[in-house]
């Protein structure tokens, strides 16, 4: 018995040590530094209590970053779920054509966000591919990445394009787990396609919706790569997200303590929203 326990401890210790050093320790240090005026350029720093957090309440730039991040997160989550479900319904068949289609839908998901950002920056520039295509068909192009009225939606479109592949795979797996007998029984009862989708498919997609929604919300609230590559937060601070604000404050302005307080707020925001969403969606799963 003792050998089994010691072998188990030895087996998990390596991964646990790595997890503690690279995940738990940075989180603890972030919380600690958020109560200090830590500056990496100076060897000493002081404990300032809740001064950083009180300053955040008055920081309009940080408030703007929260609004931008929330807009991106909620639109990306909603749009990716809708498009992922539609694409999953389109390829939920057997055959090489549908297998190829699944590959096409999922390919953007495996690309690095930085690579995706560079690709779309070429497409969306004033002299880019999209404006040239619009000119060919007689339409006038626009400044997709410098027009303050539409630039955030350009970024959202890029993120949705990449993330819908993940949603497609999750929805496809959920669709294929639904018993065929239910559809056969519904057909015998005279249900049309819409009725079968409304009363069978959509309710039984609840686990997939929960997974996609939570994962997309978490990743969207942390969005950084796409914004940096496409606009670097511009024009001005129009598309500056919380993550970008944290990086700029901590590594450009060297106010690491203040940046840590921003990171703590982001951590709490993601945690609260995730718990609320999981609770609501899990309740929906139980109802069905």
What residues does 36 pair with on adjacent strands? 47
- Domains along the chain? 59-287 (1.10.3720.10)
pLDDT of residue 1: 55
From first to last of its 288 residues, the chain has per-residue pLDDT tens of 567 777 777 788 888 899 999 999 999 999 999 999 999 888 888 999 999 999 999 999 999 999 999 999 999 999 999 999 999 988 887 766 777 777 788 888 889 999 999 999 999 988 888 999 998 888 888 889 989 999 999 999 999 999 999 999 999 989 888 888 988 888 888 888 889 888 888 888 999 999 999 999 999 999 999 999 999 998 989 999 999 999 999 999 999 999 999 999 999 999 999 999 999 888 776 554
DSSP assignment string, 2-58: HHHHHHHHHHHHHHHHHHIIIIIHHHHHHHHHTTB---TTSS---B-TTHHHHHHHH
Closest listed residue to residue 117, CA positions, set 7, 11, 244, 265: 244
Cα separation of 279 and 277, whole Å?
Answer: 5
pLDDT of residue 75: 96
The encoded tokens of residue 195 equal 């009725």
- Give how far Cα 85 sits from Cα of 36, 170, 268, Å: 46, 9, 30
Please count the other Cβ atoms lying within 10 Å of the Cβ belonging to residue 161: 17
pTM to 2 decimals? 0.90
Closest listed residue to residue 214, CA positions, set 133, 131, 146, 272: 272
pLDDT of residue 288: 47
DSSP assignment string, 174-215: HHHTS-HHHHHHHHHTT--HHHHIIIIIHHHTHHHHHHHHHH
Is residue 123 within 8 Å of residue 130, measured between CB atoms?
A: yes
pLDDT of residue 102: 77
């Amino acid at each position: 018995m003792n050998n089994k326990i010691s072998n188990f401890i030895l087996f998990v210790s390596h991964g646990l040590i790595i997890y503690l050093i690279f995940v738990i320790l940075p989180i603890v240090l972030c919380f600690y530094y958020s109560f200090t005026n830590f500056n990496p350029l100076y060897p000493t720093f002081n404990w300032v209590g809740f001064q950083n957090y009180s300053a955040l309440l008055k920081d309009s730039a940080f408030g703007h970053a929260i609004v931008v991040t929330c807009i991106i997160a909620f639109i990306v989550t909603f749009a990716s779920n809708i498009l992922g479900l539609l694409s999953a319904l389109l390829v939920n068949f057997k055959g090489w054509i549908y297998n190829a289609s699944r590959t096409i839908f999922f390919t953007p998901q495996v690309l690095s966000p930085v690579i995706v950002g560079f690709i779309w920056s070429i497409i969306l520039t004033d002299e880019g591919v999209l404006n040239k295509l619009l000119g060919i068909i007689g339409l006038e192009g626009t400044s997709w990445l410098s027009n303050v009225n539409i630039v955030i939606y350009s970024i959202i479109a890029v993120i949705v394009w990449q993330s819908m592949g993940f949603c497609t795979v999750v929805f496809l797996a959920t669709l294929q787990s639904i018993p065929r007998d239910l559809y056969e029984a519904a057909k015998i009862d005279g249900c049309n396609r819409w009725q079968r989708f409304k009363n069978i498919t959509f309710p039984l997609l609840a686990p997939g919706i929960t997974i996609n929604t939570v994962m997309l919300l978490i990743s969207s609230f942390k969005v950084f790569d796409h914004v940096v590559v496409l606009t670097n937060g511009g024009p001005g601070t129009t598309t500056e997200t919380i993550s970008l604000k944290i990086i700029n404050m901590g590594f450009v302005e060297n106010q690491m303590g203040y940046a840590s307080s921003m990171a703590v707020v982001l951590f709490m925001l993601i945690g609260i929203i995730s718990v609320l969403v999981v609770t609501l969606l899990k309740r929906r799963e139980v109802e069905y």
